[in-house]
Amino acid sequence: MQPEISKETIRGHTTTIVLNILSQGDSYGYAIAKTVKTLSHGAYELNEATLYTVFRRLIKNGDITSYWGNETQGGRRKYYQITTQGQQTLAQSLTEWQFAKQVIDDLILGRIDADDSND
- Residue 15 near residue 57 (C-beta atoms within 8 A): yes
Task: Indicate whether 76 pLDDT > 90.
Answer: no
Confidence (pLDDT) at 116: 60
Beta strands in the chain (DSSP E): 27-28, 64-68, 78-82
Question: Strand, helix or coil at 84?
Answer: helix
Domains and CATH numbers, the chain: 7-109 (1.10.10.10)
Q: In this structure, which long-range contacts are made by residues 60-69, counting pairs with CB atoms below 8 Å and at least 24 apart in sequence?
A: 61/85, 61/89, 62/86, 63/15, 63/19, 63/89, 64/18, 64/19, 64/22, 69/28
Over residues 13-61, the pLDDT tens digits come to 999 999 999 999 999 999 999 999 999 999 999 998 999 999 999 999 9
Share of the chain above pLDDT 90, in %: 75
pLDDT score recorded for residue 99: 96
Whether 75 has a pLDDT exceeding 90, the answer reads no
